[in-house]
Structure 1
């Protein structure tokens, strides 16, 4: 989840961008100003004290979510380094008394460390939570089920691998990350990016269209 400062000719706002399981295109004109803050999974739910699945695949003004947080974040500062310094100070104060749910943090870390390949039953076996509790906890703190979150993490690592290594060996990349075959990988890739990994538009990442 992200908090984004948006400023253009017609309007100015601070928006909350919920967890996304699909890509979206947001037009940005040359004179527009965007400044974003990305939070690790589950962190904003502790601050907002609201279920993250309410915001999944949504972009909403932060003032509609929490007027008090909007007031603290709504300050004028054009110098980016000073803005970052002030935001760090604000969030350090906001998070100082928040208790992190260690069970969900542990599950998130295990999914991330496995690059999304860990099975949900393994999480249950290694956690103090049962299957239904993990499902409910993930929806509240992350905005997705653990299965979908793992799927997104796996896709992210596949995408990262293609950026680093190119598309020369898609099949190996697919197998290394637990996909049953390349078509399975291609289907996931298209779901999240609306493009296939061999699409010409992706050549800007993979240098395949020189």
Structure 2
């Protein structure tokens, strides 16, 4: 896939919330017919300064995505298709990083593309137009950072227990026990789940499953694998059947289909 991705670091004042910015550029003929965005536990603001994309729902419906929108937390594969030339600027937030910037409950944005005017009203429309009409990536970064820093003036505080849980899930590559963490940190697991749902839009278990599949995908793409069974056990799946079930839940493919036909469908996921 010849998409020429480039990544950029955020302003130090935003590193608690934003992982990075990235751009994708490419001609339609160089991009696979369909792309599957694999859940990665993050939310993203997306600005298509090129042509937009179609979204293929699991029930077969096709809709045209907005030029500027937030993609909420994904719990299933999100299949898109380019309409023409790709030119995209993306703001990737940490799992709990978008909370200070929205008044819409996280759960209401799950698996949805939310237009900027719904998120931020007239201000969202203006920012979208400014970024689409900017002449460079550095100009787009300056515009979005000015906007986000202004929003942080009255930010909601990030709950420390949520922040600690997210860090633990990432540090263990998703091999995480809610019961053990709750006991060690003296917090009721239901209380933790409520805090998580409010701040992130996922439960701790859902985020752990997401991070684990991301780790597994990276291994599959970058290392020579002799046995899927060994890979399943190494990544804390009960058995190969459990691994295959979760793999399909997040990618829409079985591991066998994933490797078939020279990866006919491109998988887009968190590459860090």
TM-score, with structure 1 as normaliser? 0.86
1:22 aligns with 2:76: yes
1:3 aligns with 2:45: yes
Which has a greater percent of helix? 1
2:174 corresponds in structure 1 to: 116
- Find the residue that maps to 2:114 and give its secondary structure: strand
2:237 corresponds in structure 1 to: 179
Task: Please list, as runs of the form range in 1=range in 2, the aligned pairs for 1:91-170 lying within 5 A after superposition.
Answer: 91-95=148-152, 97-98=154-155, 99-170=157-228
Which has a greater percent of strand? 2
Q: CA deviation at 1:124?
A: 0.7
RMSD after superposition: 2.5
Counterpart pick for 1:90 among 144, 147, 150 = 147
Measured at CA, do residues 30 and 104 of structure 1 come closer, stay the same or move farther in structure 2, by a change above 3 Å? same
2:90 corresponds in structure 1 to: 36
- Find the residue that maps to 2:45 and give its secondary structure: strand
Measured at CA, do residues 202 and 159 of structure 1 come closer, stay the same or move farther in structure 2, by a change above 3 Å? farther
Distance 1:134 1:202 in 2: 42
Q: Is the 8 A contact 1:103 1:128 kept in 2?
A: no
Cα displacement string for residues 72-120 of structure 1 (whole angstroms, at most 9, x for unaligned residues) = 6231303122212332333233335533221110011111111111111
Measured at CA, do residues 128 and 65 of structure 1 come closer, stay the same or move farther in structure 2, by a change above 3 Å? farther
Q: How many residues align?
A: 206
1:208 corresponds in structure 2 to: none
- Find the residue that maps to 1:20 and give its secondary structure: coil
Measured at CA, do residues 30 and 138 of structure 1 come closer, stay the same or move farther in structure 2, by a change above 3 Å? same
Q: CA deviation at 1:44?
A: 0.7
Distance 1:171 1:96 in 2: 50
Cα displacement string for residues 113-172 of structure 1 (whole angstroms, at most 9, x for unaligned residues) = 111111111121233531111111111111111111111111111111111213323222
Structure 2: runs of 5 or more not aligned: 1-42, 53-63, 267-272
Q: Which shows bigger deviation, 189-198 or 93-102?
A: 93-102
Distance 1:19 1:69 in 2: 23
Structure 1: runs of 5 or more not aligned: 206-210
- Find the residue that maps to 1:183 and give its secondary structure: helix
- Find the residue that maps to 2:179 and give its secondary structure: helix
Distance 2:123 2:256 in 1: 43
